[in-house]
Amino acid sequence: MCGIIGYTGTASAVDVLIEGLATLEYRGYDSAGVAVVTGNGDPRVRVVKRAGKLANLREMLEGTWLDGTTGVGHTRWATHGEPSDRNSHPHQDADGDLAIIHNGIFENFAELRAGLAADGHEFASDTDTEVIAHLIGRSYDDAGVGGDGADGAVALAGAVRTALRRVEGAFAIAVVDRRSPDTIVASRREAPLVLGHLDGASLLSSDVAGLIRYTRDVEALLDDQVAILTPEGITVTDLDGNTTEGHRYTVDWDIDVAEKQGYPHFMLKEIHEQPGALHETLLGRTRDGRIVLDEQRLDDDDFRHLDKVYVVACGTSYHAGMVAKYALEHWARVPVEVEIASEFRYRDPILTQHTLVVAISQSGETADTLAAAAHARAQRARVVAISNVVGSSLAREADAVLYTRAGPEIAVASTKAFTTQILALELLALFLAQLRRAMFPDEWRDQLRRMETLPDLMEQVFGQETAIRQLAASVAHASYVMFIGRQVGLPIALEGALKLKEISYLHAEGFPAGEMKHGPIALIEQGGPVVALATAGHVRGKIVSNIAEVKARGAMVVAIATEGDTEIKAHADHVIYVPDVHELLYPMLTVVPLQLLAYFIATELGCDVDQPRNLAKTVTVE
Ligand code: F6R
C-alpha cells in the first residue's frame, strides 16, 4: 500500500525524501507529496503534492524552493477518496501547523470527522488521514503546551498519543510540526514502519529499501509504539509515554540489490535473479543431520503431534501454498487445506493446539494474512511464517519462521518470491517429514540433493528466452489466454494467468485441465491461445488428452513440457521445454517461462510492467 518516508538531519530534506519515494513507489503510485519544515526564524510546514506518479511531483518541485532539513514524503495507493491532488498526502490540521502522512485505514474516521465537523472543522479532502491531522492538531491545542524546540517535540508526541488512543484501524503515520522544526513523530499499528539510525540524522520508511542508502542500523517499530526522531537520535515510547524500544537489527543486503542493474524493468531482473535466490534459500538448511528452520519457538513435539495443516496466503503466495499441499501431504503425510487468507477467519475454521497454520507472505505485512495468523494463534493453533522480510510483522508474531532469501522484490508482480516460497515450503515439508518419521533419512537427503540442482536447471530455461519473446509477440493481441494444468501444474496455470492479467491487462484465466469440459471449454475460439502444463509425471497422459480436447475446438496450444518429450510436438503448436526433475520440483521451473511470457506480452503491449494500474505491492489494508 502507500509508501512513507521521513528525514531529519542536516541535508536537504526534499532530496532525501524524493530519493526515498523513488524506492518506495512500488507500494503505490496514485499520487505523491512531501511536507518540509522551512524557514529558520519563523518555521512553516510547506506541503507540495500532486496526483499521479512521482514524476509529476518531481516536475512540480523543479520550480519550487523548499529548503529545510526535516520533512516527510508519501506515495499513495488510494483507499479513501479518488486519486487527486486534494486527496494526496501530506494532509494538514485546521491551522496548518502540522502535516501528516499515513499508510493504512482509520476505520472510525467517519465518526471522528462528524465530531470535528460539529465543532466547526472544515476538511479539504475526502481522506481519513486529514481527519487524524485535525484530531492531532486539536489534541495539541487542548493540551495547551505549545512552545518551541524540545517542548514542542514533547507536545507533539503527546498530541499524537492522545489522538491515536481514539482511532481504530491499521496505520503507519509520520507527523511534522512547525513548533518543533527538527522533529518527526511517528507511530504504527498493523502497518510496517522502520526507523533508521545514523550519526547526525534519523530516518523512517515503510520498508528497509527506503533507508539502506543511508544506514544498515534499523529498528522496526512495533504496534502502538510512538517514535520521536530528531537529528540527535530516536526515542521510542508506548502510547502512555513510557520509554520502550522496537526491534533493532542490522540489514545484511546492499542497495544495488534494490536497483535495476541494467535491466529495463525490475520484473525482468527479478525473474533472472531466481537461480541465485533459490541457491540462497537453500543455504545452511541442515545442522547435525537435521533440517532446521530459521527461527523456532516451538518444541519438536509440537510438530510431531500435529494432525492438520492449514496454509493461508493471498495472491501469488496462495499459489505457492497450493503447491505446498502436494509436498506436505506426500512427504510429511499430514492432511492439508489451502485457504485464501481473507476468507479463513470469517468461516470459523476448526483450530486446536494440534493444528499448524502455515502463513505465507513475501512482505510479511499483508493485512489479511496477518489477521489469519493472529486468529489461528488466538485459537491456540501453531503458526509457521514463510516470509521474505526478516523481522516483518508476520515473522515476529509466528511461532516459527522459514525465510525465503530472495532479496528485496520491487516489481509489483511477484516472481522470485514465488519460486523461493515453493522451495521454503518444500523444505518445511521435509522438516516435518523428518520429525514425524514419514520419510527415511536417505529419502529426504535425496530430495535436498535434487533441490540443490534447481538453480543450474533453472538457468537452462533462460536459454529459451528469445523463443518466448517471439511467442509473446504472436499472443499479445489475442482476446484471452487460458492456462490449464493438473496436480502441481494447476497452481502454475493459475499463477501464469495471474501474472499475465496483472501486468498486461489481457484477460487470462487458469483452469484445472480436467474441468475444461465441464464449462470453460465453451470459451475456446479458433486460434485462441491455451497454455498447458504438460511436464513428465503421472498425469502427463491425462493432460495430453485435455490438450487434444481444446485442440479439437480450434485452440492454439503452447505446451510446457519436459526436455526430450518430442511426442508432445504432435499435440501442441509451440513447445517450451524445461529440464527433467522430480515431479514436485517442476513448479519452480515451469513458472519461469510463464513469467517471461507475461513480461514480454506486457512490454509488447506497452504496459507499465513494474507498476501495473490499480495495484500496489504489500497490501496492508483488508
Ligand atoms: C502478484 C502478487 C500478489 C501478492 C499478494 C500477497 O504478483 O504479488 O498477488 O502475492 O498481494 O503478497 P504477500 O506475499 O506480500 O503477502
* Residue 341 CB less than 6 A away from ligand 1: no
* Residues 242, 285 within the same domain: no
Which atom of ligand 1 approaches the CA of 421 most closely? Answer: 14
* Residue 315 CB less than 6 A away from ligand 1: yes
* Residue 225 CB less than 6 A away from ligand 1: no
Domain around 41: 3-252
CATH code of 93's domain:
3.60.20.10
CA of 121 from ligand 1 middle (Å) equals 39
CA of 362 from ligand 1 middle (Å) equals 7
* Within-domain flag for 457: no
CA of 412 from ligand 1 middle (Å) equals 8
* Residue 317 CB less than 6 A away from ligand 1: yes
Nearest alpha carbon, ligand 1 atom 16: 361
* Residues 371, 448 within the same domain: yes
CA of 227 from ligand 1 middle (Å) equals 29
pLDDT tens figures, 107-139: 899 999 999 999 999 999 999 999 999 999 999
CA of 504 from ligand 1 middle (Å) equals 17
Nearest alpha carbon, ligand 1 atom 13: 361
For 573-589, give one letter per residue: b (16+ CB within 10 A) or e.
bbbbbbbebebbbbbbb
- pLDDT score for 236: 97
pLDDT tens figures, 195-220: 999 999 999 999 898 999 999 999 99
For 500-527, give one letter per residue: b (16+ CB within 10 A) or e.
bbbbbebebbbbbbbebeeebbebbeee
Which atom of ligand 1 approaches the CA of 363 most closely? Answer: 15
CA of 408 from ligand 1 middle (Å) equals 13
* Within-domain flag for 114: yes
The tally of domains found in the chain comes to 3
Pocket test for ligand 1, best of 314, 404, 412 (most atoms within 8 A of CB): 314
Nearest CA to 28 out of 370, 412, 314, 375 is that of 412
Compute the distance between CA of residue 89 and CA of residue 31 in angstroms, rounded to an integer: 8
- pLDDT score for 445: 94
Counting as low any pLDDT under 70, the low residues of the chain are 144-150
CA of 317 from ligand 1 middle (Å) equals 6
Q: Which of 252, 281, 309 is the last residue of a domain?
A: 252
- pLDDT score for 261: 81
CATH code of 552's domain:
3.40.50.10490
Which atom of ligand 1 approaches the CA of 619 most closely? Answer: 11
Q: Which of 430, 452, 474 is the last residue of a domain?
A: 452
- Sign of torsion, CA 579 580 581 583? positive
* Residue 413 CB less than 6 A away from ligand 1: yes
* Residues 227, 93 within the same domain: yes
* Residues 396, 289 within the same domain: yes
Pocket test for ligand 1, best of 362, 404, 618 (most atoms within 8 A of CB): 362
* Within-domain flag for 621: no
pLDDT tens figures, 340-388: 999 998 988 999 999 999 999 999 999 999 999 999 999 999 999 999 9
Pocket test for ligand 1, best of 265, 316, 368 (most atoms within 8 A of CB): 316
Packing angle, helices 274-282 and 441-452, rounded to 10: 150
| Three-state secondary structure of 214-268 | CCCEEEECCCCCEEEEECCEEEEECCCCCEECCEEEECCCCHHHHCCCCCCCHHH
Amino acid identity of residue 462, one-letter, is F
Nearest alpha carbon, ligand 1 atom 7: 413
Which atom of ligand 1 approaches the CA of 369 most closely? Answer: 16
Beta pairing partners, 549: none
- pLDDT score for 259: 79
Which atom of ligand 1 approaches the CA of 415 most closely? Answer: 7
* Residues 491, 584 within the same domain: yes
* Residue 366 CB less than 6 A away from ligand 1: yes
CA of 414 from ligand 1 middle (Å) equals 6
| Cross-sheet strand order for the sheet of 98-106 | 91-92, 98-106, 169-177, 184-189, 226-230, 233-237, 243-244
* Residues 242, 291 within the same domain: no
Q: What are the catalytic residues?
A: 2, 617
- pLDDT score for 593: 98
Kindly list the distances between the CA atom of residue 161 and the CA atoms of 97, 137, 139, 153, 238, in Å, as whole numbers in the listed order. Answer: 17, 12, 9, 12, 9
- pLDDT score for 150: 56
* Residue 361 CB less than 6 A away from ligand 1: yes
* Residues 467, 498 within the same domain: yes
CA of 618 from ligand 1 middle (Å) equals 7
* Residues 347, 199 within the same domain: no
* Residues 260, 238 within the same domain: no
Compute the distance between CA of residue 309 and CA of residue 358 in angstroms, rounded to an integer: 7
- pLDDT score for 90: 98
* Within-domain flag for 496: yes
* Residues 330, 229 within the same domain: no
* Within-domain flag for 618: no
Cell 493540551, located at residue:
143
* Within-domain flag for 491: yes
Whole-model pTM?
A: 0.84
Which atom of ligand 1 approaches the CA of 316 most closely? Answer: 10
* Residue 23 CB less than 6 A away from ligand 1: no
Helix (H, G, I), strand (E, B) or coil at 360: strand
* Residues sharing a CB contact under 8 Å with residue 488, sequence separation 6 or more, in sequence order: 323, 326, 583, 584, 586, 587
> Secondary structure of the chain: what % helix, strand, coil (to 5)?
40, 25, 35
* Within-domain flag for 617: no
* Residues 35, 172 within the same domain: yes
Q: Which of 452, 473, 508 is the last residue of a domain?
A: 452
* Within-domain flag for 614: no
Nearest alpha carbon, ligand 1 atom 3: 315
* Residue 414 CB less than 6 A away from ligand 1: yes
Which atom of ligand 1 approaches the CA of 315 most closely? Answer: 9
* Residues 234, 285 within the same domain: no
